[in-house]
Amino acid sequence: MKVDLHIHSNYSDGLNSIEEILEEARSKNLEAVAIVDHGYDHSKGILHCNVAKREVELEALRGQYEDIKILSGIEADINLNGHINLYNDKYDLVLASTHEYYADEEYLRLVEAAVCSGKVDALAHYGWLVSWVLPPDDLMLKEKELAALMKEHNVAVELNSLHEKPGIEFIKLCAEAGLMYTIGSDSHRAPSVGNVEWAVRNAKLFFDESKLFLGKDK
Ligand SMILES: [Zn+2]
Ligand SMILES: [Zn+2]
Protein backbone atom coordinates (compact mmCIF):
# COMPACT_ATOMS: atom_id res chain seq x y z
CA MET A 1 0.00 0.00 0.00
CA LYS A 2 1.41 3.43 -0.98
CA VAL A 3 1.07 5.80 1.95
CA ASP A 4 2.62 8.94 3.40
CA LEU A 5 1.54 9.58 6.97
CA HIS A 6 3.64 12.63 7.84
CA ILE A 7 2.93 15.73 5.73
CA HIS A 8 3.00 19.35 6.89
CA SER A 9 0.55 21.83 5.35
CA ASN A 10 0.50 25.62 5.44
CA TYR A 11 -1.48 25.37 8.68
CA SER A 12 1.97 24.93 10.25
CA ASP A 13 5.35 25.28 8.52
CA GLY A 14 4.51 23.54 5.24
CA LEU A 15 4.50 25.62 2.04
CA ASN A 16 1.40 24.18 0.41
CA SER A 17 -2.32 24.02 1.02
CA ILE A 18 -3.95 20.70 1.87
CA GLU A 19 -5.57 20.66 -1.56
CA GLU A 20 -2.19 21.10 -3.29
CA ILE A 21 -0.82 18.25 -1.17
CA LEU A 22 -3.72 16.00 -2.18
CA GLU A 23 -3.23 16.80 -5.87
CA GLU A 24 0.39 15.72 -5.53
CA ALA A 25 -0.65 12.60 -3.60
CA ARG A 26 -3.13 11.69 -6.34
CA SER A 27 -0.53 12.22 -9.08
CA LYS A 28 1.74 9.77 -7.20
CA ASN A 29 -1.07 7.23 -6.66
CA LEU A 30 -0.89 7.39 -2.87
CA GLU A 31 -3.68 5.45 -1.19
CA ALA A 32 -3.50 7.11 2.23
CA VAL A 33 -2.04 10.35 3.55
CA ALA A 34 -1.98 12.04 6.93
CA ILE A 35 -1.89 15.81 7.16
CA VAL A 36 0.26 16.16 10.26
CA ASP A 37 0.89 19.74 11.21
CA HIS A 38 3.15 20.74 14.07
CA GLY A 39 1.30 21.01 17.36
CA TYR A 40 0.41 23.80 19.74
CA ASP A 41 3.79 24.01 21.46
CA HIS A 42 5.92 24.29 18.33
CA SER A 43 7.11 27.76 17.27
CA LYS A 44 5.53 27.25 13.82
CA GLY A 45 2.72 24.97 14.93
CA ILE A 46 -0.94 25.13 13.96
CA LEU A 47 -2.82 27.80 15.91
CA HIS A 48 -5.41 26.24 18.14
CA CYS A 49 -8.03 28.63 16.75
CA ASN A 50 -7.46 27.12 13.25
CA VAL A 51 -7.99 23.48 14.20
CA ALA A 52 -11.75 23.48 13.55
CA LYS A 53 -11.24 25.28 10.23
CA ARG A 54 -8.70 22.64 9.16
CA GLU A 55 -11.13 19.85 10.11
CA VAL A 56 -13.88 21.40 7.97
CA GLU A 57 -11.45 21.76 5.07
CA LEU A 58 -10.30 18.14 5.44
CA GLU A 59 -13.87 16.88 5.52
CA ALA A 60 -14.76 18.78 2.33
CA LEU A 61 -11.64 17.49 0.57
CA ARG A 62 -12.46 13.88 1.52
CA GLY A 63 -15.49 14.28 -0.76
CA GLN A 64 -13.29 15.43 -3.65
CA TYR A 65 -10.53 12.86 -3.14
CA GLU A 66 -12.46 9.69 -2.45
CA ASP A 67 -9.62 7.61 -3.88
CA ILE A 68 -7.33 8.66 -0.99
CA LYS A 69 -7.78 7.86 2.70
CA ILE A 70 -7.12 11.24 4.36
CA LEU A 71 -6.14 11.26 8.02
CA SER A 72 -6.26 14.29 10.27
CA GLY A 73 -3.04 14.26 12.26
CA ILE A 74 -0.79 16.31 14.47
CA GLU A 75 2.90 16.17 15.37
CA ALA A 76 2.85 17.07 19.04
CA ASP A 77 6.05 18.21 20.69
CA ILE A 78 7.13 16.23 23.74
CA ASN A 79 7.37 18.90 26.41
CA LEU A 80 8.90 19.12 29.85
CA ASN A 81 8.62 15.78 31.66
CA GLY A 82 7.08 14.19 28.59
CA HIS A 83 3.88 16.21 28.64
CA ILE A 84 1.83 16.12 25.41
CA ASN A 85 -0.52 19.04 24.84
CA LEU A 86 -3.55 18.23 22.70
CA TYR A 87 -6.12 20.30 24.60
CA ASN A 88 -9.16 18.07 24.05
CA ASP A 89 -8.75 17.75 20.31
CA LYS A 90 -9.21 14.40 18.61
CA TYR A 91 -7.01 13.25 15.75
CA ASP A 92 -6.76 10.13 13.61
CA LEU A 93 -3.01 10.13 14.10
CA VAL A 94 -1.01 11.73 16.91
CA LEU A 95 2.74 11.69 16.33
CA ALA A 96 5.03 12.69 19.17
CA SER A 97 8.53 14.04 18.68
CA THR A 98 11.21 16.43 19.90
CA HIS A 99 12.93 19.16 17.87
CA GLU A 100 15.89 20.17 19.99
CA TYR A 101 19.08 18.52 21.14
CA TYR A 102 19.03 16.12 24.09
CA ALA A 103 21.53 13.79 25.66
CA ASP A 104 20.32 10.21 25.33
CA GLU A 105 19.22 9.56 28.93
CA GLU A 106 17.14 12.74 29.10
CA TYR A 107 15.67 11.99 25.67
CA LEU A 108 14.70 8.45 26.68
CA ARG A 109 13.07 9.78 29.85
CA LEU A 110 10.93 12.22 27.84
CA VAL A 111 10.02 9.67 25.21
CA GLU A 112 9.01 7.07 27.82
CA ALA A 113 6.74 9.57 29.52
CA ALA A 114 5.14 10.49 26.21
CA VAL A 115 4.58 6.80 25.40
CA CYS A 116 2.86 6.30 28.77
CA SER A 117 0.66 9.39 28.38
CA GLY A 118 -2.03 7.48 26.50
CA LYS A 119 -2.22 10.34 23.98
CA VAL A 120 0.30 9.17 21.40
CA ASP A 121 -0.21 6.88 18.39
CA ALA A 122 3.35 6.88 17.07
CA LEU A 123 6.83 8.12 17.95
CA ALA A 124 8.14 10.26 15.10
CA HIS A 125 11.77 10.40 13.93
CA TYR A 126 12.97 8.61 17.10
CA GLY A 127 16.60 9.44 17.82
CA TRP A 128 16.89 12.62 15.75
CA LEU A 129 19.04 15.37 17.36
CA VAL A 130 20.10 13.04 20.16
CA SER A 131 23.68 12.79 21.34
CA TRP A 132 24.29 9.16 22.19
CA VAL A 133 26.71 8.78 25.06
CA LEU A 134 25.41 5.65 26.80
CA PRO A 135 27.58 2.56 26.40
CA PRO A 136 26.11 0.44 23.56
CA ASP A 137 24.99 -2.41 25.85
CA ASP A 138 23.19 -0.03 28.23
CA LEU A 139 21.54 1.72 25.32
CA MET A 140 20.39 -1.58 23.82
CA LEU A 141 18.83 -2.55 27.16
CA LYS A 142 17.04 0.78 27.54
CA GLU A 143 15.78 0.71 23.98
CA LYS A 144 14.49 -2.84 24.47
CA GLU A 145 12.55 -1.57 27.50
CA LEU A 146 11.24 1.34 25.45
CA ALA A 147 10.03 -0.97 22.68
CA ALA A 148 8.23 -3.12 25.30
CA LEU A 149 6.63 -0.01 26.76
CA MET A 150 5.47 1.06 23.30
CA LYS A 151 3.91 -2.37 22.82
CA GLU A 152 2.13 -2.12 26.18
CA HIS A 153 0.70 1.32 25.31
CA ASN A 154 -0.05 0.58 21.62
CA VAL A 155 2.40 3.18 20.33
CA ALA A 156 3.72 2.60 16.81
CA VAL A 157 7.16 3.49 15.50
CA GLU A 158 7.39 5.92 12.61
CA LEU A 159 9.88 5.22 9.83
CA ASN A 160 10.80 8.79 8.83
CA SER A 161 12.37 9.17 5.40
CA LEU A 162 13.46 12.81 5.77
CA HIS A 163 15.62 12.20 8.83
CA GLU A 164 16.22 8.50 8.13
CA LYS A 165 15.20 7.70 11.69
CA PRO A 166 15.08 5.56 13.78
CA GLY A 167 18.43 3.83 13.33
CA ILE A 168 18.36 0.25 12.12
CA GLU A 169 19.05 -1.23 15.58
CA PHE A 170 15.96 0.39 17.09
CA ILE A 171 13.81 -0.51 14.08
CA LYS A 172 14.83 -4.15 14.64
CA LEU A 173 13.93 -3.97 18.32
CA CYS A 174 10.52 -2.49 17.46
CA ALA A 175 9.82 -5.21 14.92
CA GLU A 176 10.86 -7.92 17.40
CA ALA A 177 8.57 -6.39 20.04
CA GLY A 178 5.66 -6.74 17.60
CA LEU A 179 5.02 -3.01 17.23
CA MET A 180 2.95 -1.38 14.51
CA TYR A 181 4.76 1.08 12.21
CA THR A 182 3.92 4.15 10.16
CA ILE A 183 5.60 5.59 7.06
CA GLY A 184 6.35 9.30 6.67
CA SER A 185 8.11 11.66 4.27
CA ASP A 186 7.97 14.58 6.73
CA SER A 187 7.28 16.65 3.63
CA HIS A 188 7.07 20.44 4.00
CA ARG A 189 6.31 21.16 0.32
CA ALA A 190 4.20 19.38 -2.27
CA PRO A 191 6.94 17.92 -4.51
CA SER A 192 8.31 15.86 -1.62
CA VAL A 193 4.95 14.31 -0.75
CA GLY A 194 5.38 10.56 -1.13
CA ASN A 195 9.18 10.62 -0.77
CA VAL A 196 9.17 7.56 1.44
CA GLU A 197 11.70 5.27 -0.24
CA TRP A 198 13.93 4.89 2.83
CA ALA A 199 10.97 4.13 5.07
CA VAL A 200 9.42 1.61 2.69
CA ARG A 201 12.74 -0.15 2.22
CA ASN A 202 13.14 -0.64 5.96
CA ALA A 203 9.50 -1.55 6.45
CA LYS A 204 9.92 -4.34 3.91
CA LEU A 205 13.10 -5.52 5.58
CA PHE A 206 11.74 -5.73 9.11
CA PHE A 207 7.91 -5.67 9.25
CA ASP A 208 4.95 -7.55 7.90
CA GLU A 209 2.66 -5.16 6.02
CA SER A 210 -0.21 -6.13 8.35
CA LYS A 211 1.66 -4.06 10.98
CA LEU A 212 1.18 -0.80 9.05
CA PHE A 213 -0.77 1.58 11.29
CA LEU A 214 -3.30 3.62 9.33
CA GLY A 215 -4.79 5.76 12.08
CA LYS A 216 -7.35 5.11 14.76
CA ASP A 217 -11.06 5.77 14.80
CA LYS A 218 -11.58 9.08 16.56
ZN1 LIG B 1 9.40 16.60 13.49
ZN1 LIG C 1 7.31 16.75 10.86
**164-206 residue pLDDT tens:** 999 999 999 999 999 999 999 999 999 999 999 999 999 999 9
Who contacts 66 (Cβ-Cβ below 8 Å, separation ≥6)?
Answer: none
What is the 99 CA–ligand 1 centroid distance (Å)? 6
What is the 137 CA–ligand 2 centroid distance (Å)? 30
What is the 209 CA–ligand 2 centroid distance (Å)? 23
Domain ranges of the chain: 3-211
What is the 8 CA–ligand 2 centroid distance (Å)? 6
CB 71 within 8 A of CB 54: no
- For residue 216, name the pLDDT band (cuts at 50, 70, 90): confident
Is the model's pLDDT at 7 over the cut of 90? yes
CB under 5 Å of ion ligand 1: residues: 97
- For residue 217, name the pLDDT band (cuts at 50, 70, 90): low
Task: State mean pLDDT over 73-77.
Answer: 98
Nearest to 124, CA basis, from 89, 88, 169, 155:
155
Nearest to 148, CA basis, from 110, 122, 116, 174:
174
Average pLDDT, the chain: 97
Quote the pLDDT of residue 61: 98
Task: State mean pLDDT over 140-162.
Answer: 98
CB 196 within 8 A of CB 18: no
- Alpha helices, DSSP H, located in the chain: 18-27, 51-64, 104-116, 136-152, 168-176, 197-206
Residues 107 and 113: their CA atoms lie apart, in Å, by: 10
CB 68 within 8 A of CB 32: yes
CATH architecture for segment(s) 3-211: Alpha-Beta Barrel (3.20)
| Kind and range of the H or E run holding 94 | strand 93-97
Is the model's pLDDT at 121 over the cut of 60? yes
Is the model's pLDDT at 144 over the cut of 90? yes
